[in-house]
Amino acid sequence: MFARKILCLGLGTETGAVEDHLQRTGWLVTRCVEVCAARRQLAMRRFGVAVLVAGTTPTLDAAGVAEVEACVHASSPTEWVALCSPGDLESPAFRALILGCFFDHQVLPLEWRDLDRMLEHAEQRVLLRSQAGTPVPNGDTLGMVGQAEAMVKLRRQIRKVAETGAPVLICGESGTGKELAAQAIHNCSSRKDGPLVEVNCGAIAASLIQSELFGYVRGAFTGATTDRRGLIEAADGGTIFLDEIGDLPMELQANLLRFLQEKSIQRVGAVRSTPVDVRVIAASHVNLADAVAVGRFREDLFYRLNVLPIEVPPLRQRMEDVPLLARHFLKACTTDCPHRVEGFSRQAVEAMAVYAWPGNVRELYNRVQRAVVMTEQRWIGPHDLGLQPADGVAAHDLGQARTAAERDVICRVLMRVGSNVTLAARELGVSRMTLYRLMDKHGIGADPTELVQRH
């Protein structure tokens, strides 16, 4: 449908070389040297892919970034790719533009093969979207949205543990998505056609939890007029997910341990045990090893559950996924009814990128949901999300501004790659020795999170 048509918005001196390469590789190139001209072309013709050539020297100030952002927003369903300098990426506004609006980017000098693959993927994405009639989910694997290395590792672990029947213990902060990890394990396992029964151990009254988990027989207590299966028995042939297992009363922990050892349960008031075939996945936001140390959790039960431990990362350790998750949640919040909201403004993306997200993914979803309901604009802004606009560099002195921007980008890249200096140097386009020198200059240690929070 798009016939390999590509728009090249050239703001840098490399535009001619990029245009020549695109033509040699079979693209029908329309070149523009001003953003307003690109907007006119996009209004008149349909392009599958557009390339922004920002150049080897920073060329876009805040006004220029805003102008490009408006152009990208007006060009749906075109996928945009940016070719930019390391200096461009030092600008918080430009980074927010790339994260929020672009399919991908490449730092100059160019690797032509990488550029070709990037453009092919962008074109295929547009074609898939046009054939399906709806947007294609981006980065959604095993039901968990995210492309960060921490999520890639998590999905790899899930596929491995799903192949066995041993108990799994999922750890992670509240709101990280432990229940999604449990669902993914079940759906990848041989038990996927069986039931998945989810139990929040902290939400059931202590007086009821035994009968809820193990069931009861008629006459076991006042009001027990019939036999009733418990939740464990209801999961026979499938999986039971015991969320917040650290809240389970100590007396119930002994019964659960017996079930894990004997593969059978005894209903309240029953004289015989009932065999059950159930896989157990447990989760807790508290450290169970610490709970064992202070006597709040049975040590023998902990070791029975902690056969295959999995850690779900907090959102602050996968910040590059925030724009992707935000768009995913926006789509989910506007699916049932047409809505005027079209996306997130550059300022909103930038504000989300610097926020600490103490409530993790759940907090992000809640803020997006609230913004969809409350905003009166087409593009969600920071205040719609309940966030403060990201502070620009406050220093008035140009040297101080450059120093602060340099420190900021180094810290955030190090956070994104898990403090791996080799990966960070590659992403920043400098040598490892140069990066070590810059880290020493700015007082950045092994954990850049503290410095980012201070600034």
173-231, pLDDT tens digit by residue?
989 999 999 999 999 999 988 999 999 888 887 778 888 888 888 877 777 778 888 89
38 vs 4, residue with greater confidence: 38
Write out the residue range of the structural domain in which residue 424 sits: 398-454
Count the Cβ atoms, other than its own, within 10 Å of residue 404: 18
- 138 found inside a domain: no
Q: Are strands 215-216 and 228-229 parallel, antiparallel or unpaired?
A: antiparallel
Binned at pLDDT 50, 70 and 90, residue 336 comes out as low
Using DSSP's 3-state secondary structure scheme, residue 53 falls into strand
pLDDT single digits (tens) 229-273: 889 989 999 999 999 999 888 888 988 999 999 999 888 888 788
What pLDDT does 140 receive? 43
Q: Both 421 and 381 in a single domain? A: no
Asked if 234 and 377 sit in the same domain, the reply is no
Integer Cα distance of 334 and 332 in angstroms: 6
Q: What is the tally of structural domains in the chain? A: 4
* Same domain, residue pair 116 and 220: no
pLDDT at 59: 59
In a domain, 197, yes or no: yes
> Which CATH number covers residue 12?
3.40.50.2300
The span from the CA of 166 to the CA of 144, in Å, is: 22
Contacts of 22 (CB under 8 A, 6+ apart): 6, 8, 29, 51
**Separation CA 420–CA 207 (nearest Å):** 49
Same domain, 370 and 438: no
Residues 200 and 231 in one domain: yes
Residues 268 and 305 in one domain: yes
Residues 40 and 89 in one domain: yes
pLDDT in tens, 304-330: 999 999 999 999 999 888 988 998 888
Shared domain for 201 and 107, answered yes or no, is no
Q: Cβ distance 12 to 56 under 8 Å?
A: yes
What does the pLDDT read at residue 179? 92
E-assigned strands of 142-233? Answer: 144-145, 168-171, 196-200, 215-216, 228-229
Per-residue pLDDT, 62: 75
Residues 226, 303 within the same domain:
yes
Considering the domain architecture, whether residues 410 and 266 belong to the same structural domain is answered as: no
pLDDT at position 64 is: 80
Please work out, in degrees rounded to the nearest 5, the angle formed at the alpha carbon of residue 401 by the alpha carbons of 452 and 87.
85
Average pLDDT for the chain: 82
Residue 253 domain flag = yes
Residues 239 and 341 in one domain: no
| pLDDT at position 338 | 58
The residue with greater pLDDT, 111 or 3, is 111
Domain-ending residue, one of 311, 345, 366: 311
pLDDT confidence bin for 399, thresholds 50/70/90: low
Mean pLDDT over 11-40 rounds to 86
Distance between CA atoms of residues 438 and 238, nearest Å? 54
Instruction: Summarize the confidence of residues 421-434 as an average pLDDT.
Output: 77
Residue 75 DSSP code: T
Residue 134's pLDDT is what? 41
Write out pLDDT tens, residues 52-86.
988 665 556 777 888 888 888 777 778 999 998 88
Looking at the fold, whether 234 and 321 belong to one and the same domain comes out as: no
Q: The whole model's pTM is what?
A: 0.60
Question: What average pLDDT does range 369-390 have in this prediction?
Answer: 87
139: pLDDT strictly greater than 50 = no
The whole-number pLDDT of residue 314 equals 93
